[in-house]
Amino acid sequence: MLLSNKTSIGIAPIAVNLRQAGAVLAPRRVIGGGHPLPKQTFGTSHVPLSPAVRAGDFVYVSGQVPVGGDGIVVKGSITEQTEQVLANVKAALALAGCTLDDVVKTTVWLEDARDFGAFNAVYARHFPKNPPARTTVESRLMIDIKIEVEAVAYRPV
């Protein structure tokens, strides 16, 4: 595998061969007959997506929004909506046998960047040590909500 780092400020591209850099690339797991492990989907949704999908040792959680168990959007502050979203992420992870401790990456969309501080305080309570990598962006969201979060977890099968 070859990685490249190109910039527009005149720095020469860097190419790194992962094997030469000492990376250990795990072989793809297979089942009897040499077939790759199939993907597994978990949960259902009223829209065409799976709340969680396992592909090998990784579990991908679809973007979770602040919808309560009754199917209604939780109204309120970014704090209340973040609590609900992270509860939904936790529930989707549980469908695939994972917990928040297994999360290695999250992507967060905030409707208003000014909500970052309050969001971050709630997020930090849910990931108190060894937090996952995270990308947080401001974005117009698909419905009238303040936040959406997707997650990737790693839990070997």
Which residue carries 């959406």 as its tokens?
Answer: 148
Tell me if 12 is assigned to some domain: no
Structural domains in the chain (count): 1
Q: What is the pTM of this model?
A: 0.78
Q: Find the domain containing 104 and state its range.
A: 28-154
Tell me if 1 is assigned to some domain: no
- Residues in the chain with pLDDT values less than 70: 1-36
Tell me if 20 is assigned to some domain: no
Q: Give the model's pLDDT for residue 48.
A: 84
Q: Give the model's pLDDT for residue 53.
A: 95
Q: Any idea what the CATH number is for the domain that residue 89 is in?
A: 3.30.1330.40
Tell me if 17 is assigned to some domain: no
Tell me if 11 is assigned to some domain: no
Q: Give the model's pLDDT for residue 56.
A: 95
Residue 2, token pair as written in the block: 């070859």
CA distances (Å), origin 35, targets 39, 40, 54, 131: 12, 15, 16, 34
**Cβ neighbours, 10 Å, residue 11:** 9
| H or E element that contains 136 | strand 133-138
